[in-house]
Structure formats: C-alpha cells, structure tokens
Structure 1
Amino acid sequence: MAKVLVVLYPDPLDGYPPTYARDSIPVITGYPGGQTVPSPAAIDFTPGQLLGSVSGELGLRKFLDDGGNELVVTSDKDGPDSVFERELPTADVVISQPFWPAYLDAARIEKAKNLRLVITAGIGSDHVDLDAAMRHDITVAEVTYSNSISVAEHAVMLILDLVRNFVPAHEWVTSRRGWNIADAVSRSYDLEGMDVGVIAAGRIGVAVMRRLKPFDVHLFYTDKRRLPEATETELGLTFVPSVAELVTRVDVLSIHAPLTHETFHLFDSALLGTMRRGSYIVNTARAEILERDAVVEALETGQLAGYAGDVWYPQPPEADHPWRTMPNNAMTPHISGTSLSAQARYSAGVREILEDYFDHKPIRPEYLIVDSGALAGTGEASYSTDGTGSPGSSGQ
C-alpha cells in the first residue's frame, strides 16, 4: 500500500460545478510529432470535468482505493502547519500542479523519508529541487505535452490582448459602462507586420510560432538547439543565436524557457533596457525568469508597452503583489495549461504513470525528468546536467 499525497487548487467559490458549459470535449489521439496521448488502462472520470481542484481529485479516488492505497488530497500547501507539511513525512508519492505547486525544496525532501515518486500533473517540474531528488533516488515525472497546446493558445491570446489593448477596451464597456472609443484605441495596434520573437523553440514555442504565422508577422527565435531547416523554411523563421540579440530585434517577445539557474532572473533592468521602446512581453513559462520589480519599472517608464503573464512567484501571489496593479498588464492566474480539455489529458497521464509505478513497469521516457539518480528522458533534454538542474523551490 502506498500513501499518495495530492496537492490541487481549491474548488470554485460557489462549490464544485454540478453542470458544465459544454457536454463534451474533442477527442485528441496524438500530438504534433507523433507522441500519443496518455494511455492508462482505464479512467474513472468524464473528460471535460473539473479534475484539477480538490473535489476533482484528478479522477484518482476509485483507482487508488481499489488498490488499497491511501489518498490524501489538499489545497493547504504552504507553511509549517499546512496539511501538506504534516502529511509529507509519510508520503510515498507526491502529486501537484505547476498552477498550484507544492514546493519540494531540499529540506522538505530530506524529511520525506518514504518519498519515491514525484509527479507533476501537467508540465514543469522546477518546483522540485531536482538535485535533491537525484541525491535521494526519487523519480520525478510529468505529463509531457499534455497541456502544451493549451499554453500555446493562451500565449497567442495574450499577445493579441496586449497589442490590441483588449483589457482596457473591455473595461470601458463593463466596469465603466462607457463607450470611449478614443481611449480604447489610443494604445491599440495591428499585430500584422510586427517582429515577434520566441525564447525556447520546444513544443510550446513551435506551436506558438505555427499559430502566429498566418498573422503575417516576422518570426524570430532562439534556442540551444536550432530547429531543422525544413521547419525554419515552412514557418519563415529567423534563428538568432542569443537572447541578448533576440530582444533587440523584436516588438513582441514570448517566453517559453524552463526555469533553470541559467534563466533565473535573466530579464533584469539592463536586459529590458536593450529592447525596443514600446515592446511587449508575454510570459507563460515561469515568473522568476524576470526580475519582478524590473518589469514594473519598465512598464511605468514606458520601456515596455505591455506585459502579460500567466505565471507568478510565489503561487499564489500575495494580495499586494505589484504585478496585480502595474500599468498595461494582462495577467491571468496560471490557467493557461489547466483548461478542462488539458485536465482530461494530464489526469489520464498521472494515472498512467501511477499504473506503471505500481506494476514496476518503466515509465515512458517522455514523462521522466529524474530517474535512478540522474536526469532522464525529457529532463535530460530540458535541464542542465552539471548539477544545476533546477533552482527548485529556492526562496519559497
């Protein structure tokens, strides 16, 4: 029997939904590039349900109960008296989401003597100290690609929100009950013809560029590994060898890099100052890639025309976090990768990983981040291999 500790975000304020806006979601069988969607032996939920909140339990209750396992689900994850802190020392498996991360720093991993498996329900395992996980021979896995397209769609939406000045225009007709066309369009531009850059051309970054191509923009990107020439030709991409050069050449920047020691606070006041005045930044990756106050200053001075982010630090942020009130922002509460469509996929993926773990079968390489004391699978391709795999929960 295993104790499975799951940290999920709270239910809606009005309670778990008895009905949904739609009766079904499209059936997706595979991802671009050929990877198949999660394939557990069975699922005990209806796709399209709210699974990522506490009452949804990722659809795992029956499966784990039938196997004689103990399931503890909570949203109380922060502080020494939290449910997560109390239950962690006896947990065999910890599952959480990047949207509501259970930060597993070295100290918490040290006290979790039974911990053998950490799963991210979604993509992104930087809330785990990967170096500590390697030292303690803990397997770290995530449901790779399960919500990549969800995030890409959100990023494109945020780009359009900023450039077309959607949020203030919407506020004129809702909050202010006005019809102030001049005010609404005084910061509104066409995306057509702009130079758009992408940092990190992985699954999400490429999906963003593929969706932006029909807007007739000029697409630039940077990555440690250059894309195949055929992909560059198909999408009309220009490769730029460094972030420092890329940011000087674009009007809009979309960030999709993982949080590592190399990208931590990469965007400080100095780097932001090299961008074209009036540039836009969209960040659906990790908040700590940018210095918090440097972003605020750049918006206040007009160096940035807008900043849209779906990621914060910490998560959830404090009530007076300056990104809530800084000018010309289009912030969202880390929802890009947890649409109801994505939840069906990452919940199924979590179950697939658990089935393999309980049956002592190999976990898919594309799901693995750390295994047998080393970076593995997707982790080996995404994180550094020099002992600086992830900043983990530093400063949490």
Structure 2
Amino acid sequence: MAKILIVLYPDPVTGYPPDYARDSIPVIKEYPGGVALPSPKAIDFVPGHLLGSVSGNLGLKDWLETEGHTVVVTDDKEGPDSVFERELPDADVVISQPFWPAYLTAERIARAEKLQLVITAGIGSDHTDLNAANARGITVAEVTYSNSIGVAEHTVMQVLVLVRDFVKQHQIAVDGGWNIADAVERSYDLEGMRVGVFAAGRIGRAVIERLAPFGVRLSYTDRFRLPAEYEEKYGLTFHESIEELVKEIDVLTVHAPLTDETRGLLNDELLATMTRGAYIVNPARGAIADRDAIVRALESGRLAGYAGDVWDPQPAPADHPWRTMPHNAMTTHTSGTSLSGQARYAAGTREILENWFEGAPIRPEYLIVEGGAYQGTGAHSYAKQPVHADEQQAS
C-alpha cells in the first residue's frame, strides 16, 4: 500500500459550497484534434463541483482509502513545519496543482526517499525539479489537455480586458460614476491590431483560433514551425525568435513552458524593443517575465497594459508589485481551474493513479519524465533545458 500526499488550495473562506451556480457542466466528448478525454474506470465526484480545494480532494480520498492506501490532504505547504514538509519523507506519491504548487526542489526530493510518482493535476510541472526527478528515476506526469481550452479562453478575455480598458470602466460603474471620457481615454478596438503568440502549442494554437475572428493580424514564434496549411488558414506570420516577434506586434500572448531559456525573458532589454503602448498577456509562468521590468515598463508607458494569471512565487505575497502596478488585469492563477477544468484534471489524475497501481503504462501525453529520461510531453516541452524548481521555491 502507498502513502499519497495531496496538496490542494484552501476551501473558500465561506466554507465548502453547499450548492453551485449551475446544476451541470457541458459534456465534452473529445479534445481538439481528436485526443481522448481522461478515462478512469470510475469517479467519486460530481462534475462541476469544487474539486481543487482540500474538501474536494480531487474526488480521490474515499477511493484511495477504500483501496487501503494512506492519504494526507493539506493546503499547508509553506515552511519547515508545514504538513507538506512533515509528511513528504515517507510519501510514495505527491499530487498538487500548478495553482497551489507543492514545490519539489532537489533538496526535498533527496529527503523523500520513498517518492516514486509526482502528479500535476493540471498542466505544467515546473514546480518539480525535473533534473532531480530524472536522477532518481521518479515518474512525473500531468493531465495534458485537461484545461488547455480554459486557459486559452482566459487569455482571450484578458486581451480584451486590457485593450478595451475594462477594469477601469467597470470600477467607474461600481463607484456610481458615469464620466464617459474617463472611461474611454485608454480604450481601443482589438480589430486590426497585430497579435503575436509566443509558443504555439495546444494553448497557443487555441488562442490563435479564437482571436482570428476578431480581425487581428496574427504572428507567432515557436521551437517547431506549424504546417504551411495551418499558417495559411489563420493568416499567420512566422518569426524565428521572440526578439523578432515582439518588434512587430501590438499584443503579445505568452504560452511557453518555464525553462532555463525562458526564465526572465521578458526583461528591460526585450521590452524596450516593443511598440510603445503594447500589451502583454502571460498565462504561462510568472518567472518568464522579469517582475520589476514589467512594473517599470507600465510606469513609463512603454507598455499600455499587462495581464497574467501566473506569479513568481505562488501564492504571491500581499505586497507583490504586480497587485498594484498601473494598468494591470492580473488574476490569481485561476484560468485552468474552472469547475469545468477541475472535472477533467481530477478524472485524469485518477486515471494516472489507476494505471500506476496496476503497473500499466501511463499515456505518453501525460508523461513528463519516466525511467530517468524525458518522455512524451516532457520530451517535447522540457527536454532541451529543464527547469530547476529550487529557483522558484515558494517556501
């Protein structure tokens, strides 16, 4: 029997919901491209319920305990006396979400002598030191595709919120005002703007496909060029590098994984080459941007707005400057954890566990590392320059 340590975000401050705004969520039969949704043998939750918090426990606790496993579910992950630190040394499996990550540094992995499997309930495993996991032969998996469309939808929303200056306009309404000039002095149409997409993987392509009907001019850069017929369909211009891309756009959306190559990439030097008054939306990883460089660019007017769903570290401290910098539309890493997305990544987490307990293969698209090497999605996204989780440890 195994010990499973599950780190999830806290329940709502008002308590676990007794009811929900909707009675159901739409049934999605397949992901774009025909990829199958998670297919566990069973689920112990109601799709559309809050699963990502402690009381929701990803719908796993009852099932795992019935099977004889030891389960620890906590939101306490910060500092040497946290539940996470105390329970980690003899854990066989660690599960957390990118929105409330259990940072598995090389030092923590060294102390976790029994650790065999790390699961990201969602997408993005850079909170685990992948070099250390490879060295130990630990399997790292995530629920690829589970919330890609949710993040793409959030990205499109934030692009529109910035360009139309929605935050200010809404606040005027909340405050009882009606000054039209104040409301529109920084508001523009998205139509006709040049939008650049940094990394055209699953999320980046979904953003391209959703922004194209707005009449924008689309460009992108990626390690792997998209097929010519796809570029033609969406009127895409390919750039060999991010440095070339940012010179030619009004809006940049960021969808790259966090690697040694992308860490701090959006710095003073790169921002200085962008069109004055450009916007950036970053739902990928906070550390891809130089924190203070973004603040300086907004204060100087180099950037007209910055929105993102990701911070460094996470959770961000109360005095993080991105909370109060001008012309921001930040959210607290919620794009991928809608109630719809939670149903999919909870089901995918159970599928991974079922396979692992049975000694069956884990789907290649779920795998990041296995057997001491990058596999599946990991070989595509992380293998070139893996990240070091100790550099973005939150505790």
What letter is aligned with 1:333? T
Aligned to 2:176: 177
Shift of 1:66: 1.4
Shift of 1:389: 1.3
Aligned to 1:285: 284
User: Structure 2 matches for 1:1-396, cutoff 5 A?
Assistant: 1-174=1-174, 176-385=175-384, 388-396=385-393
Runs ≥4 residues deviating over 6 A: none
Query: Could you state the TM-score of these two structures normalised by the residue count of structure 1?
Result: 0.98
1:164-198 alpha-carbon deviations (Å, 9 max, x no partner): 00001001111x22112111100000000000000
Q: For 1:395 and 1:364, how far apart are their aligned partners in 2?
A: 28
Contact 2:127 2:392 in 1 (8 A): no
What letter is aligned with 1:113? E
SS in 2 for 1:103: coil
Q: For 1:378 and 1:353, how far apart are their aligned partners in 2?
A: 15
Shift of 1:70: 0.8
Shift of 1:359: 0.3
Q: For 2:328 and 2:167, how far apart are their aligned partners in 1?
A: 8
Q: For 2:383 and 2:302, how far apart are their aligned partners in 1?
A: 32
Contact 1:222 1:246 in 2 (8 A): yes
Q: For 1:339 and 1:278, how far apart are their aligned partners in 2?
A: 31
Shift of 1:393: 3.3
Q: For 2:235 and 2:273, how far apart are their aligned partners in 1?
A: 25
Shift of 1:374: 0.5
What letter is aligned with 2:390? S
Query: Could you state the TM-score of these two structures normalised by the residue count of structure 2?
Result: 0.99
Q: For 1:69 and 1:75, how far apart are their aligned partners in 2?
A: 20
Shift of 1:295: 0.2
Q: For 1:87 and 1:62, how far apart are their aligned partners in 2?
A: 19
What letter is aligned with 2:286? A
Alignment RMSD: 0.7
SS in 2 for 1:40: coil
Could you tell which deviates more after superposition, 87-96 or 60-69?
60-69
Shift of 1:78: 1.0
Shift of 1:29: 1.4
Q: For 2:85 and 2:47, how far apart are their aligned partners in 1?
A: 31
Shift of 1:384: 2.7
Contact 1:98 1:125 in 2 (8 A): yes
Shift of 1:395: 4.2
What letter is aligned with 2:281? V
Identity %: 67
What letter is aligned with 1:168? K
SS in 1 for 2:32: coil
Contact 1:259 1:391 in 2 (8 A): no
SS in 2 for 1:201: coil
1:230-266 alpha-carbon deviations (Å, 9 max, x no partner): 1111111111111001000000000000000000001
SS in 1 for 2:344: helix
1:13-32 alpha-carbon deviations (Å, 9 max, x no partner): 10000000000000111111
Q: For 1:149 and 1:82, how far apart are their aligned partners in 2?
A: 34
Contact 1:140 1:369 in 2 (8 A): yes
1:11-51 alpha-carbon deviations (Å, 9 max, x no partner): 00100000000000001111111210000000000000000
Q: For 1:151 and 1:266, how far apart are their aligned partners in 2?
A: 21
Contact 1:126 1:393 in 2 (8 A): no
SS in 1 for 2:219: strand
Structure 2 vs 1, CA of residues 197 and 79 (structure 1 numbering), >3 Å: closer, same or farther?
Answer: same
SS in 2 for 1:253: strand
